[in-house]
Amino acid sequence: MLYRHEEYTKPQLVKQPCAHERLRRVALQLFVEQGFQSVSLRQLANALGMQAGSLYNHMDSKQALLFELIEEHESDLLDTLRAEDPSNASGLQRLRQYIHSHVHFSLANHGRQVLSRLELRQLTNEQKNAIMVIRLAQIEHMRGIIKQISSKYVRDEGKLTLVVRSVMAILDDYPEWRLPSRRLDALVEFLTQLAVVGITYQKFQK
């Protein structure tokens, strides 16, 4: 009788995160829970089990670390909005997908979302400008989608800007509403219709 030996599979080594990545994770948690200004280098170092002076082997400064976290979040969001955009679909379908992508990305990255919105003021003017370039790209992407819905309603650039900014303001703030997951689809549909109504609204003459 022949015995069939099970194929030997070499155990895979689990790659441990590098010190810089561990620093980023700890910093994100502490910055969100306590606020950027309240977190000291000593706290960061203690959480990582190292001396405070050793932190500079893994970052330029606490402010540079904050910028890195915020810049990564905004860039990842922009990449997601672009990657999930069904560019060949109708404007309404694209708008619905944009809002869906934004809602679910923000929910999946709640800590980074909170940090980006609350701690932007702690950055230098140069760093803030770099973040605003990314955010403006997010806004312009939505603007282009809404223009596609019905060109006859978007000749008023002021109205278009108002609608886009209003929807974006809600998208930025909604994670703090603590909506149950079963209500997210309803939120996506509501914001989609809100944008459409805002664009097509005509003021009644008395």
Give 135-178 pLDDT, tens digit per residue. Answer: 999 999 999 998 888 665 556 778 888 889 999 999 988 766 66
* For range 178-189, the mean pLDDT: 80
pTM, to two decimals: 0.83
Q: Which two tokens stand for residue 60?
A: 């330029």
Helix (H) or strand (E) holding 92: helix 91-108
Which residue ranges does the chain devote to CATH 1.10.357.10?
62-200
Q: Which one is the CATH code of 62-200: 1.10.357.10, 3.40.50.360, 3.90.1170.50, 3.40.470.10?
A: 1.10.357.10
pLDDT of residue 34: 94
Which residue ranges does the chain devote to CATH 1.10.10.60?
14-59
* For range 3-27, the mean pLDDT: 63
Q: Which two tokens stand for residue 12?
A: 């895979």
CATH 1.10.3720.10 fits 14-59, yes or no: no
Instruction: Answer positive or negative: Cα dihedral of 26, 109, 32, 122.
Output: positive
* SS3 state at 153: helix
- Rounded CA-CA distance 28/30 in Å is 6
pLDDT of residue 51: 84
* pLDDT tier at 15, thresholds 50, 70, 90: very low
Return mean pLDDT, the chain.
84
Cα angle, residue 6 at apex, residues 4 and 11 outer, rounded to 5°: 165
User: Over the range 99-109, which residues count as b (16 or more CB within 10 Å of their CB) and which as e?
Assistant: bbbbbebbeeb
Decide which of 197 and 2 is more confident.
197
Cα angle, residue 53 at apex, residues 52 and 59 outer, rounded to 5°: 95
